[in-house]
A and B are shown apart, each in its own frame.
Chain A
Amino acid sequence: MAFQQIKLYQTGTFVAGNRLLDPEQRSVQARTGRSNSLTSGHRACRGCGEALGARYVLDAAMRATDGNLVAVNSTGCLEVFSTPYPESSWQLPWLHSLFGNGPAVAAGVAAALRAQGREDIRVVGQAGDGGTVDIGFGTLSGMFERNDDVLFVCYDNEGYMNTGVQRSGATPPAATTANTKALGGTPGNVFGQGKSVPLIAMAHEIPYVATATVAELRDLEYKVEKAMTFRGARYLHVFVPCPLGWGAASADTVKLARLAKETGLFPVFEAEAGTVTEVSKIRRQVPVEDYLRPQKRFAHLFGDQPRPDVVARLQARADRNIARFGLLPEGDE
């Protein structure tokens, strides 16, 4: 008789969906009552980090609000793969308006709910990195300034994936995209450009800012739930690998997210009212090369004419993050 071997995960880890835990300790995704806000059948690529992130974020927010949630979405992969007419993967009230206005639309929803005395209904706005750090940046800053009661989530896949993988203000240096190819003397995206919106969000002194990755899904759920305990503007920046845009294996999404954190390239932290309160330490530090090599967007650094100088500059970025945020455990620094 054929049988399938069932692999039991260790308890006490952060592994997602751990059904061996007490019901109260289980992740939102492991609960029978999860809302499946972004339900199956959508058209994201295999291994899409954004789909994974959105699913966890919204289900956690739904649980935190007892289902009293409205989602606003900017244009981008998430919007497109979830709503090709006449199908919709959304099982919560969901509004998509434009690419650059998600934060303002979400602010409008929150204002309407307040005016109608329905502050029990909460609002999540969500966008890709393009919709957040570039074209939506003005409306995002306005929403932060007014301290509107919105949790805004950026799913950062480091590029404009929906339009065919172009550079965004969150694309890392040296990465190739459709408009930063490995051509000319400085291949890939330029060093010294782009910006950290989590840090800019902190400069607005909003109640809560956090970063997370889809490698640590319990941490992501925790941060969403925590964000929902605050009123006012909150910002969550989630690192979501894109197998298609990065030229990575679909099976490597979670691994790459973990490596981004473990190299120090993507600092994972929380901040309240403009001050960092928690930092997720690197558990096992790895050189940036381990993260870069599996991705075709960095292949030009390791080809016929390898560029150890560029890899070193990327390592320096990671090292700077490590020093700046104190990412290494005590004693390792």
Chain B
Amino acid sequence: MLRQVEGSQAVARAVTLCRPQVIAAYPISPQTHIVESLSDRVRTGELTSCEYLMVESEFGAMSACIGASGAGARTYTATSSQGLLFMAEALFNASGLGLPIVMTVANRAIGAPINIWNDHSDAMSMRDSGWIQLFAESNQEAVDLHVQAYRLAESLSVPVMVCMDGFVLTHAFEEVDLPSQEQVDAFVPPLVPQQLLDPADPVTIGAMVGPEAFAEVKYLMHVKQMAALDEIPVIAEDFLRAFGRASGGLLKPYRVEDAETVVVALGSVLGTVEEVVDAMRDDGLSVGALGITCFRPWPVAEVREALGRAKRVVVVEKAFAVGAGGIVGQNVRDATRNLPVDVYDVVAGLGGRPITRASLRRLLDDVVAARVDASRLHFLDLDVELVQRELERARHGARPGPHAENMLRDIGTVASGAYE
């Protein structure tokens, strides 16, 4: 049924349709509307046979999901940013134990400086946590990915993180086709746990493992993620058949077949990227885009295949490895190893800065005209002068003070106190 609805409400409805039995969540912007809505749905009885735990922290939220999943319940939680970091230890535990927990991450920057707006630093910081990471391009896809996530998580007994851009998607009202209960019931069968805390058949879950088998247990996590690379496209095809809509899968190629220059990106920015691709195509330039829907496991062969004919790959990513470079970029470079292609790492949209069509167009024009050095890390729309002035200030005096305050005062932002 098509409805004009806020992204968070749509996701809450999709999760409801998946019939989670235990929800444990702790509020943080921009995830709040999702979990508030789920609390309503449990209270009104729209979501039955579900326990909603108001936990004391995100660490508690993930931990409660671990216990609930071990006891055979379908579980759900959602978080963002600092909250995801606060549950970091439990994330690795959930994946190490192989528990099919589904979580929404409403992507948001990580402080300091504290910032509530969208980027991908949170999800990227947990890229090696053993969770499957799926990125939604739109609210429709966010809805669809949650339905697919339960099927994926439970078929492989692995935890799945559905990432959707904070505010940009979570707080955006757009038309979404919400499936019916019957459709979802048919697509997501009841959970059959692969391990269960059952007094009739006691097992020890979470035993200590030393050097004699630790690598093997960890290797199995990798095996499962590799299996997910096969499973995810199958689930997406089934989804297309059942719901009449293409959603999910590993990658989203856009006019990429013959493109000499390909932009790689994740999440909601893909819409903007595709518009720029269209405009450049209209100008006779050979440009395409490759959306990464599944970032973990990393579909290395599929990415290599999709980028095999490109000359230039521009990875536009909303996070970076401080002191090293691009994160997605590194993975793309790995996938294109020994291919005659230049990979450009471009950090963009940090802390909610808009990634505009104009900026992207300028960037791509520069890349095509060989004005950009592929060996360096680039920051889209970086205010270089602001940085220079602060570096200059920092050189003088024994105590130049906090960067954030200095720079805000410099640009005259009200919050800096410059109005005084």
Name the residue of chain A whose CB is nearest to the CB of B214. Answer: A85
Contact B199 A108 (CB under 8 A): no
A90 at the interface (CB under 8 A from B): yes
Contact B208 A85 (CB under 8 A): yes
What is the CA–CA distance of A96 and B72 in the complex, to the nearest angstrom?
A: 15
What is the CA–CA distance of A253 and B51 in the complex, to the nearest angstrom?
A: 42
Contact B202 A108 (CB under 8 A): no
Contact A105 B64 (CB under 8 A): yes
Total number of residue pairs linking A and B with CB closer than 8 Å? 165
Chain B CB within 10 A, most for which of A95, A106, A112, A148: A112
Contact A108 B71 (CB under 8 A): yes
Contact A70 B59 (CB under 8 A): no
Instruction: Chain A residues near B22: list those with CB within 8 A.
Output: 108, 111-112, 115
User: B135 CB to closest chain A CB, in angstroms?
Assistant: 27
Contact A106 B67 (CB under 8 A): yes
Contact B90 A98 (CB under 8 A): yes
A138 at the interface (CB under 8 A from B): yes
Contact B24 A108 (CB under 8 A): yes
B294 at the interface (CB under 8 A from A): no
* Given A101-B90, A109-B68, also A139-B199 (CB < 8 A): no
Contact B59 A112 (CB under 8 A): no
User: B376 CB to closest chain A CB, in angstroms?
Assistant: 41
Contact A85 B207 (CB under 8 A): yes
Contact A93 B202 (CB under 8 A): yes
Instruction: Chain B residues near A138: list those with CB within 8 A.
Output: 56-57, 59-60
User: B382 CB to closest chain A CB, in angstroms?
Assistant: 39
Q: Which residues of B in the span 337-351 have a Cβ within 8 Å of any Cβ on A?
A: none
* Given A84-B210, A114-B51, A139-B56, also A109-B199 (CB < 8 A): no
Instruction: Chain B residues near A305: list those with CB within 8 A.
Output: none
A145 at the interface (CB under 8 A from B): yes
User: B85 CB to closest chain A CB, in angstroms?
Assistant: 15
Q: Which residues of B in the span 63-106 have a Cβ within 8 Å of any Cβ on A?
A: 63-73, 75, 89-90, 93, 97
B198 at the interface (CB under 8 A from A): yes
Q: Which residues of A in the span 78-109 have a Cβ within 8 Å of any Cβ on B?
A: 79-80, 83-86, 88, 90-98, 100-101, 104-109
Contact B205 A111 (CB under 8 A): no
Contact A109 B67 (CB under 8 A): yes
Name the residue of chain B whose CB is nearest to the CB of A125. Answer: B67
List 4 tightest A-B contacts by C-beta distance, closest first: A108-B67, A142-B56, A96-B206, A112-B73
- Sample (28) of A-B pairs whose CB atoms are under 8 Å apart: A67-B199, A72-B67, A73-B206, A79-B208, A83-B207, A84-B208, A85-B210, A88-B207, A90-B204, A94-B197, A94-B206, A95-B70, A97-B66, A98-B90, A101-B60, A101-B66, A105-B66, A107-B60, A108-B22, A109-B71, A111-B53, A113-B71, A121-B199, A138-B57, A139-B56, A139-B60, A142-B55, A142-B56
